[in-house]
């Protein structure tokens, strides 16, 4: 059902939206990972620091994906 609904739109637009939403999802998972690391710091500071670094990496990757999708959308006009 969702594929039929999405197929009504321009394929390039669908590609851009997919990249945008994947970037938003990765960024969100990164923020949640950072939050988990902060709360884990009560028990194990070394593990918490590593988890926060992984979350930070995910946030950076998510933002890069979002910026690339927006630049691609801007260039398609």
For residue 10, give the 3-state DSSP assignment.
coil
Give the per-residue pLDDT at 59: 97
Give the per-residue pLDDT at 47: 93
Q: What is the pTM of this model?
A: 0.80
Distance CA 76, CA 50 (A): 39
Give the per-residue pLDDT at 4: 62
- Tens place of pLDDT for every residue, the chain, 77 residues? 556 666 677 778 778 888 899 999 999 999 999 999 999 988 889 999 999 999 999 999 999 999 999 998 888 65
Give the per-residue pLDDT at 2: 58
């Amino acid at each position: 059902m969702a594929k039929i609904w999405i197929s009504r739109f321009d394929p390039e637009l669908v590609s851009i939206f997919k990249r945008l939403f994947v970037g938003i999802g990765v960024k969100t998972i990164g923020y949640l990972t950072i939050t988990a690391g902060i709360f884990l710091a009560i028990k194990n500071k070394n593990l918490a620091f590593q988890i926060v670094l992984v979350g930070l990496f995910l946030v950076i990757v998510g933002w890069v994906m979002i910026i690339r999708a927006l630049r691609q959308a801007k260039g398609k006009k």
